[in-house]
C-alpha cells in the first residue's frame, strides 16, 4: 500500500491528537491540516470562553501568517454579540455549517472585521467554510473558519461540499480533545483549589506565619524563573521544566500541611511559658498572699516571710524578661534554679512548688521559646506532611510533590530531619524549597519570638549554612544574586497583595479575618496585663496596711482586724442572690462546702463576692488580704478551686 502525502499527514495528525498536551499547539496543527486538506489559503479559530468567542489562531499562507493571538489581539478581534456576526451566528446555530461562495456578496452577515483585515493587509477574503466545534453533548466549544479555497492555478473558488465532511470530522476530533483537556484542567483546578484551602487552614492556625506558605511558593517561582533565565543566557546548565515548576509550586504550598496536626498552643507559643505565663504569675502572687496571711496570724516568722517575699517579688519583677528574652545568661538561669527549689507548705499539709517541672523546663530554654519536647512535636510536622500527602493521588504529573514537600527540612550533610537524608538523595527542587523556606523564616516580620533579619543578615546565615555543607551553595548564590536585585520590590508587592486579600476577606466575612488568632492573642495579653495591674494595686493597698518591719505596727494591725471590716458598698446592706450564685461564690473563694452561704453577698460596685466575717478568726484570715484577692479575681478567666485559699 502506497501512503500518499495526505494520508501521511492524517497519520501524523492522529498521533499528535493522541499525544500532544499543549492545546494551542494541537489546535494550530488541526487548523493547519484543515487549511491544507481543503486547499484553503487561510483559517481562523475562535474558542468559546465565558459565553463569548475569543479569537485564538490565525493562519494565512499567502501572507505567511501563522500565529497565536495575544490576549489584547484576541479581545480586539472577538466575535460580535449579535447573530449578524458570522462567527456568532455559527455559535448560536451549530446545526448549520456555512459554505459561502462570496462573503462580500452575501448580505446576511456583518463582515466589518474581515473587511478591516483585508484592507490592512491588502487582501481579499472571498469564499468561506464556517463550522462549529461540537462536543458529544452538542455544546459548542468554538468555531473554525476556512477561507479562500484555491484551484491549481491559485484562483479563489467556492469550497467543495466534500470538504464539509472532512472539516466536520476534524472539528469533532478537536472537540473531543478539547473536552478531555478541559476535564484535566478542571481536575487540576480542583486539586489546586483544594491545596489553596489546605494552605488557608494551615496559616489560619498560627498568626505568626500566616503568609509563610504563600511567600515560600512565590520565592520558589521567582528563583526557578531566574534559573531558567540564566540557562537561556548560557550562564548555567540547569533548567527547570514547566512540569518541575508546577510540582515545586504545589510542594511549596503543601510543605507545612503537617502543622494541621501539631497542637496549636505549640505552634503559637511566642514566649517560653506560652499560655502558662499568666497562670504562673497568678500562682506566685497567691503564694505571696497566703504567706502574708500566715505571717499575720503568727504562723510564719516575719523575717522568713520577708525573705521569701523579697525573692518572689524579685522573681516576679524579672519574670517577663525570663519569658520573652532572646537569650538567658548563666546568672539568670541560676536565679531560676534557686526559685525552682522552693515551695510553699500550707498549714493543712498542702505543698505548692514555686515552679512546676514543666514551668522550670520552659524557663530553662536558653534560646527560642520551645522546650526539647515541644521542638520534637513541631519537627514531627514533616512526618505528618508525608503521611497526609501519601493519601492523595497526585498521578504522574505531580509524582514528586510528596517527596519534595516532606524533605524540606533535610540537609545535604545528613543533619536534617526526619530521615537524615544526604546530598545524593535530595534533588534540586527539594534544595530550592529548603533554601526558600529558611530565607522566608529569617526575613519574616510576623514572628514575635524573634526579630526580622534584614536581607544581608539572612543571606549571611544561608551562606554560613552552605559553608557547613547543609545547603546547596550554588542555589544560595543564585538566591543571593536574585534577592539583592529584587527583594525589596518583591516583598512590597507581596505585602500589597496581602492587604488586598485582607480587604476582600473583610468584605465577605466582616470583622473575621485570617489574623483573628493574633487579635485574640492581643486581647489576652491586654487582659493579663490588666489583671496583673489589679493584682499589684491590691498588693500595694495591702502593703500600705502592714509594715512587717515593726512589731508594734504589726500588733496594731492584728488588733484592728479583730473587728469585721466592711466596705462602703457592703454597708448598703445585703442583696438578694439565688442559692446557685452564692454557692458559686463560695467555691470561688475556696470556702468549705458547709460554709453558710447566707453570709455571702455581692459587692455591686466591683461585681465580686466577699464574706462578711462572723468571728474574729475569719476576720483575721481575710480582712487584710481581701484587696489583694480582689485584684487576683478581677483577672478574667482565672480558675479557682477549694485549695487555692486557706481553709
Could you tell me the pLDDT band of residue 106, with boundaries at 50, 70 and 90? very high
| pLDDT of amino acid 66 | 52
Could you list the residue range(s) of the whole structural domain that residue 235 is in? 206-267+377-514
Say which residue the cell 494550530 belongs to: 28
Distances (CA, A) of 494 to 137, 216, 218, 444: 43, 11, 9, 12
Mean of the pLDDT values across residues 67-88?
A: 61
> Could you tell me if 178 and 218 lie in one domain?
no
Which residues 6+ apart lie within 8 Å of 154 measured at CB?
A: none
Asked if the model's pLDDT at residue 400 lies above 90, the reply is yes
User: Residue 169 belongs to a domain with what CATH number?
Assistant: 3.30.450.40
> Could you tell me if 429 and 538 lie in one domain?
no
> Could you tell me if 176 and 253 lie in one domain?
no
Could you tell me the pLDDT band of residue 70, with boundaries at 50, 70 and 90? very low
Q: φ and ψ at 53, to 5 degrees? A: -95, 125
Range with the poorest average pLDDT among 18-27, 380-389, 586-595 = 586-595
> Could you tell me if 177 and 224 lie in one domain?
no
Could you tell me the pLDDT band of residue 185, with boundaries at 50, 70 and 90? confident
Residue 282 lies in a domain: no
Asked if the model's pLDDT at residue 406 lies above 60, the reply is yes
> Model confidence over 134-157: pLDDT tens digits?
887 778 889 999 999 999 999 999
Please state the domain count of the chain.
3
Could you tell me the pLDDT band of residue 531, with boundaries at 50, 70 and 90? very low
In terms of Cα–Cα distance, which of 437, 407, 386 is closest to 258?
386
Q: Whole-number mean pLDDT of the chain?
A: 77
Distances (CA, A) of 214 to 34, 140, 200, 209, 599: 45, 38, 10, 10, 61
Could you tell me the pLDDT band of residue 366, with boundaries at 50, 70 and 90? confident
Residue 141 lies in a domain: yes
pTM above 0.75, yes or no: no
Asked if the model's pLDDT at residue 127 lies above 60, the reply is yes
Answer with the one of 461, 491, 514 that is the final residue of a domain: 514
**What pairs with residue 140 in β-bridges?**
134
In terms of Cα–Cα distance, which of 81, 56, 58, 83 is closest to 70?
56
| pLDDT of amino acid 78 | 56
> Could you tell me if 468 and 542 lie in one domain?
no
In terms of Cα–Cα distance, which of 23, 90, 93, 86 is closest to 57?
23
Could you tell me the pLDDT band of residue 335, with boundaries at 50, 70 and 90? very high
Residue 459 lies in a domain: yes
Residue 319 lies in a domain: no
Alpha carbon distance 206, 126 (integer Å): 66
What is the chain's alpha carbon radius of gyration, rounded to the nearest angstrom? 39
What does 590-621 look like in DSSP terms, one character per residue?
T--TT--GGGEEEETTTTEEEE--SSHHHHHH
> Could you tell me if 415 and 441 lie in one domain?
yes
User: Residue 479 belongs to a domain with what CATH number?
Assistant: 1.10.3210.10
> Could you tell me if 509 and 533 lie in one domain?
no
> Could you tell me if 13 and 68 lie in one domain?
yes
For β-strands 343-345 and 65-68, DSSP reports them as unpaired
For residues 316 and 540, the model is more confident at 316
Asked if the model's pLDDT at residue 613 lies above 50, the reply is no
Residue 351 lies in a domain: no
Asked if the model's pLDDT at residue 600 lies above 60, the reply is no
Residue 384 lies in a domain: yes
Asked if the model's pLDDT at residue 76 lies above 60, the reply is no
Cα 40 → chain centroid? 55
Residue 35 lies in a domain: yes
Asked if the model's pLDDT at residue 641 lies above 60, the reply is no
Alpha carbon distance 144, 58 (integer Å): 10
Could you tell me the pLDDT band of residue 210, with boundaries at 50, 70 and 90? low
Asked if the model's pLDDT at residue 620 lies above 70, the reply is no
Alpha-carbon torsion (15, 19, 22, 23), positive or negative? positive
> Could you tell me if 254 and 394 lie in one domain?
yes
* Residue 235 exposed, middle or buried by CB count within 10 Å (0-12, 13-18, 19+): exposed
The C-alpha angle 325, 519, 260, rounded to 5 degrees, equals 85
Residue 482 lies in a domain: yes
Distances (CA, A) of 260 to 214, 254, 343: 16, 11, 38
- For the chain, percent of residues with pLDDT exceeding 90: 42
> Model confidence over 245-294: pLDDT tens digits?
999 999 999 999 898 888 888 888 888 998 899 999 999 999 999 999 99
Alpha carbon distance 575, 604 (integer Å): 9
State the DSSP H helix or E strand holding residue 119, giving kind and residue range, or none if neither: helix 112-121
| pLDDT of amino acid 357 | 93
> Could you tell me if 74 and 178 lie in one domain?
yes
Answer with the one of 485, 514, 543 that is the final residue of a domain: 514
> Could you tell me if 254 and 393 lie in one domain?
yes
Answer with the one of 492, 514, 536 that is the final residue of a domain: 514
> Could you tell me if 213 and 169 lie in one domain?
no
Amino acid at each position: 500500500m502506497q501512503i500518499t502525502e495526505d494520508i501521511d499527514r492524517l497519520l501524523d495528525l492522529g498521533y499528535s491528537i493522541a499525544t500532544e498536551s499543549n492545546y494551542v499547539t494541537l489546535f494550530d496543527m488541526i487548523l493547519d491540516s484543515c487549511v491544507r486538506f481543503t486547499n484553503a489559503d487561510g483559517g481562523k479559530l475562535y474558542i468559546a470562553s465565558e459565553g463569548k468567542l475569543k479569537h485564538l489562531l490565525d493562519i494565512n499562507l499567502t501572507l505567511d501568517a501563522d500565529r497565536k493571538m495575544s490576549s489584547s489581539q484576541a479581545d480586539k478581534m472577538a466575535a460580535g454579540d449579535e447573530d449578524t456576526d458570522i462567527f456568532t451566528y455559527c455559535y448560536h446555530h451549530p446545526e448549520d455549517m456555512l459554505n459561502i461562495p462570496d462573503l462580500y456578496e452575501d448580505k446576511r452577515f456583518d463582515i466589518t472585521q474581515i473587511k478591516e483585515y483585508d484592507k490592512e493587509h491588502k487582501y481579499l477574503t472571498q469564499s468561506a467554510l464556517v463550522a462549529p466545534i461540537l462536543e458529544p453533548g452538542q455544546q459548542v466549544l468554538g468555531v473554525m473558519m476556512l477561507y479562500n479555497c484555491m484551484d491549481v492555478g491559485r484562483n479563489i473558488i467556492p469550497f467543495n461540499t466534500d470538504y464539509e465532511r472532512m472539516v466536520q470530522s476534524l472539528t469533532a476530533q478537536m472537540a473531543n480533545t478539547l473536552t478531555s483537556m478541559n476535564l484535566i484542567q478542571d481536575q487540576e483546578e480542583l486539586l489546586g483549589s483544594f491545596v489553596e484551602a489546605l494552605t488557608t487552614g494551615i496559616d489560619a492556625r498560627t498568626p505568626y506565619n500566616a503568609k509563610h506558605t504563600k511567600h515560600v511558593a512565590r520565592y520558589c517561582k521567582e528563583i526557578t524563573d531566574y534559573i531558567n533565565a540564566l540557562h537561556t543566557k548560557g550562564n548555567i546548565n540547569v533548567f527547570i521544566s514547566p512540569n518541575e515548576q508546577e510540582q515545586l509550586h504545589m510542594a511549596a504550598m503543601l510543605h507545612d500541611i503537617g502543622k494541621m496536626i501539631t497542637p496549636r498552643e505549640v505552634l503559637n507559643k511566642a514566649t517560653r511559658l506560652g499560655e502558662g505565663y499568666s497562670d504562673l504569675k497568678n500562682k506566685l502572687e497567691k503564694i505571696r498572699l497566703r504567706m502574708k496571711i500566715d505571717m499575720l496570724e503568727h504562723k510564719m516568722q516575719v523575717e522568713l516571710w520577708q525573705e521569701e517575699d523579697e525573692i518572689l517579688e524579685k522573681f516576679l519583677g524579672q519574670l517577663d524578661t525570663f519569658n520573652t528574652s532572646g537569650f538567658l545568661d548563666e546568672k539568670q538561669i541560676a536565679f531560676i534554679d534557686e526559685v525552682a527549689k522552693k515551695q510553699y507548705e500550707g498549714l493543712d499539709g498542702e505543698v505548692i512548688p514555686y515552679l512546676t517541672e514543666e514551668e522550670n523546663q520552659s524557663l530553662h530554654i536558653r534560646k527560642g521559646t520551645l522546650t526539647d519536647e515541644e521542638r520534637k512535636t513541631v519537627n514531627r510536622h514533616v512526618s505528618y506532611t508525608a503521611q497526609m500527602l501519601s493519601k492523595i493521588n497526585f498521578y504522574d504529573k505531580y509524582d514528586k510533590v510528596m517527596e519534595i514537600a516532606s524533605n524540606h527540612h533535610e540537609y545535604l550533610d545528613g543533619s536534617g530531619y526526619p530521615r537524615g537524608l544526604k546530598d545524593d538523595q535530595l534533588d534540586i527542587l527539594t534544595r530550592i524549597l529548603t533554601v526558600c523556606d529558611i530565607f522566608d523564616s529569617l526575613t519574616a516580620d510576623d514572628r514575635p519570638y524573634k526579630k526580622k533579619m534584614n536581607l544581608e543578615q539572612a543571606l549571611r546565615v544561608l551562606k554560613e549554612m552552605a559553608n557547613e555543607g547543609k545547603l546547596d551553595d550554588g542555589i544560595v548564590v543564585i538566591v543571593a544574586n536574585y534577592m539583592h536585585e529584587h527583594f525589596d520590590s518583591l516583598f512590597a508587592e507581596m505585602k500589597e497583595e496581602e492587604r488586598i486579600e485582607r480587604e476582600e476577606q473583610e468584605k465577605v466575612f466582616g470583622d473575621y479575618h485570617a489574623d483573628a488568632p493574633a487579635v485574640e492573642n492581643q486581647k489576652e495579653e491586654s487582659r493579663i496585663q490588666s489583671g496583673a495591674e489589679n493584682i499589684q494595686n491590691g498588693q500595694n493597698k495591702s502593703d500600705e496596711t502592714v509594715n512587717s518591719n515593726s512589731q508594734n505596727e504589726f500588733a496594731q494591725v492584728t488588733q484592728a482586724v479583730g473587728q469585721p471590716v466592711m466596705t462602703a458598698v457592703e454597708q448598703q446592706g445585703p442583696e438578694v442572690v439565688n442559692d446557685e450564685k452564692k454557692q458559686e461564690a463560695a467555691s470561688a473563694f475556696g470556702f468549705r462546702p458547709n460554709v453558710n452561704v447566707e453570709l455571702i453577698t455581692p459587692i455591686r460596685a466591683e461585681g465580686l463576692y466577699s464574706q462578711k466575717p462572723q468571728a474574729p478568726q475569719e476576720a483575721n484570715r481575710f480582712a487584710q488580704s481581701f484587696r489583694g484577692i480582689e485584684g487576683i479575681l478581677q483577672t478574667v478567666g482565672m480558675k479557682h478551686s477549694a485549695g487555692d485559699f486557706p481553709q
